[in-house]
A and B are shown apart, each in its own frame.
Chain A
Amino acid sequence: MLKKSWKRELPLHLLLLPAAAIVFIFNYIPMAGILMAFERYIPTKGIWGSKWVGFDNFSYIFSLPDTYTVLWNTLFIACMKIVVGQVTPIAVALLLNEMRSALIKRGVQTLIYLPHFLSWTILGGIMIDILSPSSGIVNQMLTAIGGKPIFFLGDNNWFPFTIVISNEWKEFGFSTIVYLAALTGISPALYEAAVMDGAGRWRQTWHITLPGMRPVIILLVTLSLGQVLNAGFEQIFVLYSPQVYESGDIIDTMVYRMGMLSAQYGPATAIGLMKSFVSLILISVAYFLAYRLANYRIF
């Protein structure tokens, strides 16, 4: 019996083999690479030959004043993105839902979804052009109405907000899709009953539409908990410059510069490891909460 099921299942193992091997090489072997975080890593000596230094890399990181700035920047930008990234799509979905002209609604959707599909290279290039303090169109408009030019990408007061808003430009449209799907799932009978009871539009929105969206909102908010340390590497990498490190440098960009540009492999891996570890805990908690609160399962 046992032999038979092995024989029956063998082709299934073979089907999974290529993907399993690739994941092993490119995802699991690098996990062993986190040993570098505890070594004075020298590439020619390799992981097994480099000197073991325990937690030296970690104490080195925490002796750097920049580390605390970077941690704060990461949390600040990521949390702002989460809050704005939840509120905007809900509002937009509600406004779209009230539109009765299918044609205009579809047109609006087509335009607001588009930026999601463009890369940060493209969108970053556009941002740099339009926000340029000398020739950018945004600053030209500002000066035309009597304001002073603002260096959105070079001023530490403006940089984090520029990041959050430009990220919203890329993603808010796409994020509305899930909420719109939730809205279409609300039974029309509820609205009819409410109208019979004399409820106006506002009361319908408050007592039917919003509660109808609640499961999805709870789900997305809990899942976003896992993103608290993800401030968006690609976007910031494209848009930042040394003059805004003070307000815009985040964990991921710091790891990149330390590891890839200054070859401080040990400390860079150590920061990366701490981030992965905290994220792992946050994501696990988020999935657990999503499972308990919204009965969400990945598979």
Chain B
Amino acid sequence: MVKESLGRKLFLGFDYTFMILLSLLCMFPLVHVLAVSFSSNAASSAGLVTLWPIGFNLKSYEFVMQNAEFLRSLGVSVQRVLLGSLIQMLLIVITAYPLSMEASRFRFRTAYAWYFLVTILFGGGLIPTYMVIKDLGMLDTLWALIVPSSVPVFSVVLLLNFYRGLPRELEEAAFIDGASLLRTLFSIILPLSLPAIATLLLFSMVGHWNAWFDGLLYMNRPENYPLQSYLQTLIINNDFKATTAEELQMLKSISNRSVKAAQIFLGALPILLVYPFLQKYFMKGIVLGSVKE
């Protein structure tokens, strides 16, 4: 401890410099795009913007917020996040409980566990799954985005491992007091599992917000796209079309690039808002799975 050698000091200097630069480098693209979204048409088209907006204005955001397609897809996304996460959480909570029991309490536990785990190992693939959803008449409905992904097996496994870490005595006491199975689950187990459930709820909401490929696949009509699918067709495929004459007029004064940047930022905004909570919980989430008897 006494000799904090020169080599050590040099190393620490390098370590701090390198890590700080690395983390800033990670943020650079995000900040750049944010700066472009606030910049004037001329500045962003001429490529003058680096990290700070040039010719600051909010025109791109005004344009986006008046864009009917953007708002409609935002509405689809909000519905999907709320309803989708609710259904997912309910299914995770009730499915993990029987699976967390010992085989002596529930003889079919292992059989059921394998029944669910097989889906991690093997699947029918893209096209057969699409056919099933099509045959069920779910194309172009919100259900196509919610139901097929409503049983995330990994989350079930995480929660069942958490349930197992709870003291068995509580459950036995509830049982002796005459509580039914559902009552034990919802009044004893559930309140004790809130940290785990908060983590999974956040994962579920982020997953639903970020999902875009299913929207592209199962929605034939672009007006049913959730926001991320809409952004995908717009930003990536470049089929940018102003729908009304007013919008065309407005587009003349703002650059396509700034509008795209504004939409990218708005698409990322909800994640940025919940990020402090995510960071607080995801460490727990990862450790959650590793606590085993």
Contact = CB atoms under 8 A, between A and B. Distances in A.
Interface of A: 5, 9, 11-13, 15-16, 18-20, 22-23, 25-34, 36, 43, 47, 92, 95-96, 98-101, 104, 107-108, 110-115, 117-122, 124-130, 135-137, 140, 169, 173, 177-178, 181, 195, 201, 233-234, 237-239, 252, 255-256, 259-260, 265, 268-269, 272-273, 275-276, 280, 283-284, 297-299
A177 B20 CA distance: 17
Contacts of A272: 125-127
Contacts of A22: 91, 147-148, 150-151
Most buried by B among A23, A122, A126, A195: A122
Interface stretch (B57-65, B242-250, B263-271): B263-271
Interface stretch (B93-101, B165-173, B191-199): B93-101
A114 B26 CA distance: 9
B23 A284 contact: no
B124 A201 contact: no
Contact of B122 (A16, A234, A276): A276
Contacts of B157: 298-299
Contacts of A280: 121-122
Nearest to B228: A121
A127 B125 contact: no
Nearest to A140: B47
Given A34-B124, A124-B236, A128-B235, A15 B95 contact: yes
Contacts of B212: 119-121, 234
A128 B263 CA distance: 14
A269 B124 CA distance: 9
A19 B95 contact: yes
A129 B36 contact: yes
B129 A269 contact: no
Interface of B: 1, 8, 11-12, 15-16, 18-20, 22-24, 26-27, 29-30, 32-33, 36, 45, 47, 49-50, 91, 94-95, 97-99, 101, 106-108, 112-113, 115-117, 119-133, 136, 147-148, 150-151, 156-157, 160-161, 180-182, 185, 206, 209-213, 217, 228-229, 231-232, 235-236, 257, 260-261, 263-264, 267-268, 271-272, 275, 278-279, 282-283, 286-287, 290, 292
Nearest to A141: B50
Contacts of A119: 209-212, 228, 267
Contacts of B22: 92, 108, 112
Nearest to B127: A259
Contacts of B263: 125
Contacts of A107: 23
- Tell me the interface secondary structure of chain B in the complex: helix
B115 A23 contact: yes
Given A22-B150, A121-B228, A111 B235 contact: no
Contacts of B119: 23, 27-28
Given A20-B112, A117-B275, A201 B11 contact: yes
Contact of A130 (B29, B112, B185, B209): B29
Contact of A118 (B133, B210, B213, B260): B210
Given A126-B30, A127-B29, A129-B261, A273 B115 contact: no
A295 B15 CA distance: 34
Contact of A121 (B16, B18, B236): B236
A289 to B, nearest CB: 15
Nearest to B283: A177
Nearest to A240: B236
B121 A284 contact: yes
A218 to B, nearest CB: 15
Contacts, number: 256
A56 B204 CA distance: 42
A13 B95 CA distance: 10
A127 B156 CA distance: 34
A299 B232 contact: no
B127 A269 contact: yes
B94 A15 contact: yes
A299 B260 contact: no
A108 B20 contact: yes
A121 B235 contact: yes
Contacts of B24: 111
Contact of A30 (B12, B99, B129, B264): B129
A32 B209 CA distance: 31
Contacts of B29: 126-127, 130, 169
A34 B23 contact: no
B161 A99 contact: no
Contacts of B115: 20, 23
Contacts of A297: 292
B26 to A, nearest CB: 5
A112 B26 contact: yes
Contacts of B112: 16, 20
B166 to A, nearest CB: 16
A173 B117 contact: no
Contact of A137 (B11, B32, B278): B32
Q: Which residue, A32, A114, A125, has most C-beta atoms of chain B within 10 A?
A: A125
Given A115-B26, A119-B212, A299-B117, A125 B235 contact: yes
Nearest to A98: B15
A155 to B, nearest CB: 18
Contacts of B94: 15-16, 18-19
